[in-house]
Structure 1
Amino acid sequence: MDTRAIFKASGFLILTVIGIPSNLFICCAFLHTRLTEAKLTPADVILCHLAVANLTSTITRSFSQMLTAFGYRNIYDDFSCKLVVFFFRVSRSLSIKLTCLLSTYQAVLVAPATSILDSLKHRIPKYLQHIIVSFYAFCFATSVHLLLYSSSNLINNTIPPYTFNYEYCYVTYPDYTFFISIGLSLFFRDFAFIVMMAVMSCYILVLLYRHSKKVKNLRSSDHGNSRSRAETKASFAVVTLVILYTVFFGVDNAIWLYSLTIVRVAPLISDIRGFFSILYTSVCPVVVIATNPKVKAKLKLPRLRGLPHSVDTSLPTM
């Protein structure tokens, strides 16, 4: 293996080793909470679906890319290729929309009663299932073209024009018009949600700054201040996720737009884009595990088993 192949294999191996168990742990943690406490907050539900989307992305893209980097070839047939590429694009799009929904809901939670967002405090939890189902339906509908144009092999082992090369699979479009229209539509579909989550995150930061000025003289032992600190931590965790996604999205889609302007993309450029397109699926669960009280509590269960329960579960979660 040359130097590029070693770095590529190592990078995707790290993403796979982190992404699969961490996202799986978050899913199991919320499932255990649902079975034992019979209730999840709207933020918990969103995070659980986000973990499922990230887990799917890791399996379909990071794991496949890792195998290819280690020299495995022809790991999928045409039918499997269509499913792998399709579910990767669906899960990636879902990840964007769910992160946007999470930032919007957190902005609604911290918004004052005089804000126009206050009316959503009861509407989002009430219609949360409908919102998430509509996200799934939209992502499936806008990614269905991949089932038509994905394949595992190339004719004469030559990459034709207007082809996205995943190395383990190929997506070949019939002409330039279709190639550019699909590419731009996918970009603007995701970019709209990126802009919305960025606006909501800025709104959260402004509210937190104003609130910190009001409560800076309160005693740290005050109950309201304690609850406020918990909400602040949750808000900063959400903002962190948004910032990370925006940075990764920026790199990924800058290369995506560049690839639309040329017939064939250099392998190194494709590797960089592939890495950033799934980097969030490994970083996101680490942030969630480090900041979400319910998920962190599951890590302590084996150590606390048999000891008196003294954990306060009344604080809001991310």
Structure 2
Amino acid sequence: MDTRAIFKASGFLILTVISIPSNLFICCAFLHTRLTETKLTPADVILCHLAIANLTSAFTRSFPQMLTAFGCQNLYDDIGCKMVLYFYRVSRTLSIKLTCLLSTYQAVLVAPATSILDCLKLKIPKYLQHIIVSFYGFCFATSVHSILFCYSKLINNTVPPYTFNYEYCYLTYPDYTVVISVGLSLFFRDFAFIVMMAVMSCYILLLLYRHGKKVKNLRSSDNGTSGSRAETKASRAVVTLVILYTVFFGVDNAIWLYSLSIVRVAPLISDIRGFFAILYTSVCPVVVIATNPKVKAKLKLPRIKSLPRSMDTGSSTM
């Protein structure tokens, strides 16, 4: 293996090893909480669907990319390639929208009663299922191009123009007009949600800054601050996710827009873009596990109950 192949295999192996177990753990943690303890909050429901979307992305992009980097060939036929890339596109788009919904809901939670967002505090939980279902429908409907132009093999083993080589599958567009139309439509569709989540995150940061100034004047009183502290921690976690997604999205789409301007994309550029395209699937669950109380609680081992004192003394005299 050359240097590029070694770095590629190592990078995608690390992403796969982190993303699949961690996202699966989050899904199981929320499911266990729902079945045994209390009803999940709207934020937890969104995080659970986000983990499912990230898990799907890992299985449909990170995992096959890792296998290909280690030399596995002919992973899928044409139908398999169409399904794998289709579900990857759906999960990636769904991840953007769920992160945007999470930042919006968190902004609504911390917004004061005088804010225009206050009216959404009851509406979002009430219509949350409808919102998520509409996201799924929208993502499935707007990712059909992956089915139309995806193939497992190339004719005569030559890469035609306007082809995106995933190494395990090929996305070949018929001409430049189709490439530009599909590329720009996908970019502006996702960019609109990125802008919205960025605006909501800036609003959350502004509220946290104002809250921090008030807290400095009320250090002596701890009554009634536990709820606000929990909201502050949750808000910071959401802002962290948005910042990370914005950075990864920026690198991914900068390379994507560059790819639209040339006929053939160098393999190294495709590898870098692929790495940043799925990096969020590994970083996001780590942030959730570190900051979400329900998920973090599942990591704690049950404490062994101490033996009664009578049994303890009895055993010591034997």
TM-score normalised according to structure 2 size: 0.94
Match of residue 316 from structure 1: none
Change (3 A) 1:189 1:305: farther
Note if 1:80 corresponds to 2:80.
yes
Letter in 1 for 2:117: L
Match of residue 24 from structure 2: 24
Give yes or no for contact 1:50–1:99 (8 Å, CA) kept in 2.
yes
Q: Deviations over 1:229-281 (max 9, x none)?
A: 11111100000000000000000000000000001000100000000000000
Give yes or no for contact 1:215–1:225 (8 Å, CA) kept in 2.
no
- Measure the CA separation in 1 of the matches of 2:84 and 2:215: 51
Change (3 A) 1:221 1:19: farther
Q: Deviations over 1:122-168 (max 9, x none)?
A: 00000000000000000000001211111100000111111111110
- Measure the CA separation in 2 of the matches of 1:220 and 1:227: 17
Match of residue 312 from structure 2: none
Change (3 A) 1:303 1:147: same
Letter in 1 for 2:269: I
Q: Which moved more, 1:224-233 or 1:150-159?
A: 224-233
Q: Which moved more, 1:171-180 or 1:238-247?
A: 171-180
TM-score normalised according to structure 1 size: 0.94
Identity %: 85
User: Unaligned 5+ residue runs, structure 2?
Assistant: 307-318
Letter in 2 for 1:249: F
Note if 1:253 corresponds to 2:253.
yes
Give yes or no for contact 1:218–1:225 (8 Å, CA) kept in 2.
no
Give yes or no for contact 1:15–1:282 (8 Å, CA) kept in 2.
yes
SS in 2 for 1:303: coil
Note if 1:201 corresponds to 2:201.
yes
Match of residue 214 from structure 1: 214
User: Unaligned 5+ residue runs, structure 1?
Assistant: 308-318
| Runs of 4+ displaced beyond 6 Å | none
Change (3 A) 1:268 1:136: same
Match of residue 240 from structure 1: 240
RMSD: 1.1
- Measure the CA separation in 1 of the matches of 2:305 and 2:149: 56
Return the offset for 1:38: 4.5
* Bigger Cα Rg: 2
Match of residue 8 from structure 1: 8
Change (3 A) 1:303 1:225: same
Match of residue 310 from structure 2: none
Match of residue 303 from structure 1: 302
SS in 2 for 1:134: helix
Q: Deviations over 1:107-128 (max 9, x none)?
A: 0000000000000000000000
